[in-house]
Structure 1
């Protein structure tokens, strides 16, 4: 997969420890993810964490589950011994982890776990022990509460090409933010970030693209930290919405607009046909992107060539060859 990425260039990403092969599950097993370790591991510097182990639950251990009524925060208790309530301990170790790991650019989670499950984790009724509804795991709820901008995804959901590409796009976009705005925050850097992420944003959420453009026009009237916090929250929320073929085609047409006057009629027709083939599902996104990039190299302005949308993550990962 191309040249090996140097350690200092890899992006720090959290991961449920069991996905790295660590034997930390309740039954002493693991859920090693080959894709994470062998493919993403070349690009990401993984930092494993198991909230249950950190909360003092040994290996092996009594399984835990979430219990509660709909509309209330579930408790996390033992499946055999409901007196074993680890809710507070899990909450504490999760918050301590977040405080120490603000440098992370994403987190890959274990599906179905009462601590690490992203969604659809069963919550049981306290009276009869029957499944009642579903929620996110206890660790995930703390991440969303105290680190809402952090990209999250379940390892199992990354079998879906669109969700996989979406998560990795968010990780790289957040890395761009951290590298350019964290140490040297300024209105100029904020506007530069928006400028290069514009069509990426448009492909995911055209309303957020318009709204943030309007917001930045007056952002300098507010304290910088207020403007940055508002922008980041809205931007990361917008990117979490997976782009569709229709929304990608819209962004591609806008990028194509920067080439209109530079190309002959036949070349323009070829590009438009590639975009339409993609929109109709006949080819993958890589096809129109490669064509556009080819002509933008020769005829595009610095502004359009700087768009992260054209190259949001390493080409070697091949993510746009499958969507």
Structure 2
């Protein structure tokens, strides 16, 4: 998976001066760390519907019809709801190739959650909205990994987002290369350990769904539903408990080869991770050492050990 991955992004996060005040919100994780691995496709919905920069600020307003409207915050509160709705509905149809989307937090067009929704003609508001463009993204592509710049300062959320982006990219590439039942089963097998680290009950449900593949008349319809379920499963952040179970499972593959002191050392390292005394990278590094020394074909193809480029350093703090 050396090809750069297509990822949508709010243009202001790349440093483009497109915000209402003429500024930007350059997001260093995107511009400095992700840029070598992804192909960003920047969008500013407000500029796209013809607004200039600088421009009056916009806000979400809940009117008497209980619908959310996009309005200027001052100078009479003129509406832009229809323009933004028409443009968003059309634009998202061209974004099915994307494998993720980075959104500007709090934006009335791009915010993912907790966007302020105001009462008419007042400053009373609740942090309960979603940007209009983002709402269309969610409706058109419920499987697409979406995250905001603010939330991605959390290392666990950042790791989860990138794991989903890379999994979706691999799935989409497999689909484009010519879908077969064999390829789908192989994909699911490669992701077994990674999926178990996210949600064990949902993994078992997904396994039953894979077993039912022959009952589907259309393989494309099946793949569409599998992708939805896969991305929903991976939206659950991997837990320390689930990681520990996966590590102990992998440890069992090496019992015949390891000496008693080696087994004890590995078990202690896994337990220290379980107790929060070591990062996840520590036991995984030792397991990868044993995988090199005692090759096992099934373990070698597991995405759990390399779900994204090591250079992103996403497991250092887990």
4+ residue runs of structure 1 moved beyond 4 angstroms?
69-73
Q: Which residue of structure 2 aligns with residue 197 of structure 1?
A: 191
Distance 1:130 1:233, change over 3 A: same
- The aligned counterpart of 2:48 is 54
Question: Equivalent residue for 1:238?
Answer: 233
Corresponding residue of 1:97: 91
Other structure's SS at 1:319 match: coil
Count the aligned residue pairs.
317
Q: Give the superposition deviation at 1:94.
A: 2.1
Is 1:74 the equivalent of 2:68?
yes
Name the TM-score, length of structure 1 as normaliser.
Answer: 0.93
Shift of 1:127: 6.2
Counterpart check, 1:149 vs 2:135: no
The verdict on how the C-alpha distance between 1:15 and 1:70 changes in structure 2, with shifts beyond 3 A counting, is farther
* Residue 9 of structure 1, CA deviation: 2.2
| Matched position secondary structure for 1:134 | strand
Query: Is the 1:258–1:300 Cα contact (8 Å) retained in structure 2?
Result: no
Superposition map of 1:25-36 within 5 A: 25-36=19-30
Secondary structure at 2:55's aligned position in 1? coil
Is 1:70–1:132's contact at 8 Å kept on the other side of the alignment? no
Q: Mind listing any 5+ residue stretches in structure 2 that lack a counterpart?
A: none
Query: Do the aligned residues in 2 keep the contact of 1:70 with 1:133 (CA within 8 Å)?
Result: no
Q: How far did 1:26 drift? A: 0.5
Taking the TM superposition and a 5 Å limit, the aligned residue runs for 1:1-323 are 9-68=3-62, 72-81=66-75, 83-126=77-120, 128-222=122-216, 223-323=218-318
Q: Deviations over 1:282-315 (max 9, x none)?
A: 1111111111111122224211111101110111
Gap runs ≥5 in structure 1: none
Q: 1:274 to 1:282 in 2, by over 3 A?
A: same
Q: What TM-score comes out, normalization by structure 2 length? A: 0.94
Offset of residue 133 of structure 1? 4.4
Task: For residue 26 of structure 2, give the secondary structure of its aligned residue in structure 1.
Answer: coil
Name the SS of the counterpart of 1:261 in structure 2: coil
